Amino acid sequence: GESVGLHLPTLSVQEGDNSIINCAYSNSASDYFIWYKQESGKGPQFIIDIRSNMDKRQGQRVTVLLNKTVKHLSLQIAATQPGDSAVYFCAENNAGNNRKLIWGLGTSLAVNP
Partner 1 sequence: NAGVTQTPKFQVLKTGQSMTLQCAQDMNHNSMYWYRQDPGMGLRLIYYSASEGTTDKGEVPNGYNVSRLNKREFSLRLESAAPSQTSVYFCASSSPAGSGNQPQHFGDGTRLSIL
Q: Would you tell me which residues interact with partner 1 (CB under 8 A)?
A: 5-8, 31-32, 34, 36, 41-46, 49, 51, 89, 93, 95, 98-101, 103-106
CB-wise, 15 or 68, nearer to partner 1? 68
Given a contact cutoff of 8 angstroms between Cβ atoms, the answer to whether 87 and 106 are in contact is: yes
CB-wise, 76 or 108, nearer to partner 1? 108
CB-wise, 42 or 113, nearer to partner 1? 42
Given a contact cutoff of 8 angstroms between Cβ atoms, the answer to whether 27 and 11 are in contact is: no
Give the sign of the dihedral formed by CA 108, CA 23, CA 80, CA 41.
Answer: negative
Given a contact cutoff of 8 angstroms between Cβ atoms, the answer to whether 11 and 110 are in contact is: yes
- Shortest spacing between CB 112 and partner 1, in angstroms: 24
